[in-house]
Every structure is written in structure tokens, then in C-alpha cells.
Amino acid sequence: MNVLRIAALTWDETRRARALLAGIVLTAIFLGFFSWGVLAAASQFGRARPSPLMALASQSNIDFASIIWGQVLSAGLYGVAGIGALLAIFLGAPSIAREVETGTLQLLASRPIGRWEIVTGKWLGGCALLVAYVGGSGTLACASVWYLTGYAPGNPILVVGALSIQVVVLHSLTIATSSVLPTITAGIVPVILHGIAGVAGFGERIGTLLDSEILKTTGIAASLILPSDVAWQLAASQAQPPNPLPALGFNAPMGPFDVISAPSPWIAAYALVYALACLGFAIWRVNQKDL
């Protein structure tokens, strides 16, 4: 029960600090621009002169429009995932570190409440907010593309679920760093790790393209160290139609947001275990802490 009280407090604090309002307004602006871009692309697509690539696709019974709109949707979701990742870190970094620095946590911890309840409540409140955010904005992005182009991903719930895993992983990692490091450092570390994971993910895709085992292994290792980018890859793979090029003998991506080989669904389970391990570490660390 105390966990839910602390989670509700986290919601309330975010709402009253107008962070939620700012997030909703800016995301609405982003989705507005995105939809406008999709509309422009859709009208352009209908009028465009068939290119040699489109002709080749037509000869091979490939739904070229689905490939294009899958890439467009992925671009929108990439924006949602990027904003979600930053929010996950910004919400998590001060959650423990700042409260220790200001002494707010002392007041809570002197109450008849376990420290694990405080940490879990903050984690739960933050995760719920972030999942609501990426769930809402991801669904709106999918709905916008579907309404304007008629394209819908095979399973939108999996798309939103994978985006949610990414923010939960990053938020959990940041809560863990917040239990050890000062506020600013607690935010910097996950930002850099997420950046490294993203670059390693690109490296893995290039490795697949070039059939380079070193690049592929580096990408996989980075995914295990921080499975945030691989969660994004999972979302992107679900947002797009299957890549027809390998069947035609080309081991190449369909576009900048394509995932050549979709991550294993087990990576989702690994990411959730990873998030729980981060939470467990944060609880252990806060339990040890002298406030």
C-alpha cells in the first residue's frame, strides 16, 4: 500500500511541477508536425512518377507503399522513443539522489515505511508515467499514419510494448545510478550508456550488412550491457513489414530505420529482468545508505 502511496506522490509531483503538461504539449506539437509530414508525403506519394525501384518492387510483388509507410512510422516512433528515453533519465536522476541531498528522504524514511517501499514506489510511479507517455504518443503516431496512409503495423501493441520496455529499462538504470551518484552524474551516466548502446546497435546493423562478426558481437554485447537500443530495434521491427530484400538476394536494409534481423523476443524478457535487477540494486543500496 505504501508503494502505491509513493507512486501516487511521484505522479502528483510530476503533474504539479507542470512537467507532465510540458511533456504533453511538446509531444502534441511533435506529433502535429509528424502528422503534417505524413500527410505531405502521402499526397506526394500518390502523385510521384514510378521510379525504377518501384517498378522492380511491383514486378516482385512487393508492397512498396507498406515499406515506405513502415519507414515513415518508424521515424515517428524513433522520435517518441528518443523523447521517452530522455524523460526516463530526467525523471529518474533526481528521484533518490536529490531527495537525499535535500533531506526530503529523511522525513519519509523516518516514517513506519520500508526503504524498499520508497524506492519501489518511486520506480513504479516513474515507470507508469513513462509507459503512459510512450503508450499514448506511440499509439497516436500509429493512428496518425494509419488514418493518413492506411498503413498499420502488424501488431501495434507489440510496438508500444517494446517502446515501453525501453523506457522502463532506462528509468530503472537511472534509479540505480541515482541511488549511488549525485543527481547530475546519475543522469549523465545513463545518457552516455544509452548513446553507446545506440551506436553499438548501428554497428551491429552495419556488421550484419558487411557480415562482420566483430561488429555483430560488439552490438550484441552492448545490448546485454544496456538493452535500451535493442528494445527500440524490437519496436522498429514490429512497426515495419518484413524486409523482402533478403528473399531477393540482397542482405540490405529497407531504409534508415530498418532492422535487418529482428531481435529475439527473449530480449524483451532479458530487458525486464535487467530492469528488475536495477531496481533490486537501488533498493539494496538505499537500504545500506546512511541518510
Partner 1 sequence: MVTLAIETEALSKSYGRKQAASSVSFSVASGTVFGLLGPNGAGKSTTVKMLVGLVCPSSGIAKVFGRIPSRADARLGLGYVPEQFRFPEWMRAHEFLRFHAELAGVKTFDRQSEVTRVLREVGLEHRERDQLRTFSKGMLQRIGIAQALVGRPQLVVLDEPTSALDPIGRRDVRDLIVRLRSDGVTVLLNSHLLSEVETVCDHVAIMDRGRIVRAGSMADVTRGHVEVEVRCAGLTTQTLSALEARWTAVRLGEGTGSSEVQTFTISVIDEYEATHIADVLLAGGVRLLAMIPRRRTLEDVFVESVTTTDGDAIPAVRGRQ
**Which pairs with CB-CB distance under 8 Å and at least 24 residues apart come from 18-27?**
19/91, 20/129, 23/83, 23/87, 23/133, 26/83, 27/80, 27/83, 27/133, 27/137
Q: Does 108 bind partner 1 (CB under 8 A)?
A: yes
CB closer to partner 1 out of 108 and 236? 108
Amino acid at 28: A
Size of the site for partner 1 (CB under 8 A): 21
Residue 12 DSSP code: H
The answer to whether 116 and 287 have CB atoms below 8 angstroms apart is yes
- State the nearest-atom distance from the C-beta of 90 to partner 1, in Å: 17
Binding mask 83-102 for partner 1 (x = CB under 8 A): -------------------x
- State the nearest-atom distance from the C-beta of 283 to partner 1, in Å: 14
**What's the number of CA atoms in the CB half-sphere (13 Å) around residue 18?**
3
Q: Does 5 bind partner 1 (CB under 8 A)?
A: yes
Q: Does 113 bind partner 1 (CB under 8 A)?
A: yes
**What's the number of CA atoms in the CB half-sphere (13 Å) around residue 234?**
25
- State the nearest-atom distance from the C-beta of 191 to partner 1, in Å: 26
User: Which among 256, 290, 218 has a CA at the least distance from the CA of 70?
Assistant: 256
Q: Within 9-68, which residues bind partner 1 (CB under 8 A)?
A: 9, 13, 16-17
- State the nearest-atom distance from the C-beta of 12 to partner 1, in Å: 8
Binding site for partner 1 (CB under 8 A): 2, 5, 9, 13, 16-17, 102-104, 106-114, 288, 290-291
